[in-house]
Amino acid sequence: FPGSWSRRVREIIGSSGSLVGVDLTAPALAGGTFLARSVFDVTADELTGLLGGRAHVVLSDMAQLTAGDRDGDHYAQLELAR
């Protein structure tokens, strides 16, 4: 579900760390900043600004919504890895 990794990271870093999440659906999770949109619509400068500097760790579990079109779904998944 949206925010499951963010929830785990929040447990690890506690209140002293900064957490910024990007997902199509913002999770119901306190203690972080969440951008409810596609990663393709977020810039590195925006993330750096929200974090207050460069990130120490970047964690991704992105997965494209599938449509049942094997080739199209594969292409969309490759685009996430660029």
Condensed to tens digits (0 to 9), the pLDDT of residues 7-64 reads: 888 899 988 888 998 888 888 887 888 999 988 899 999 999 999 999 888 888 887 7
**Does residue 1 surpass a pLDDT of 70?**
no
* Alpha carbon distance 77, 39 (integer Å): 13
**Secondary structure element (H or E) that encloses residue 72, with its range:** helix 70-80
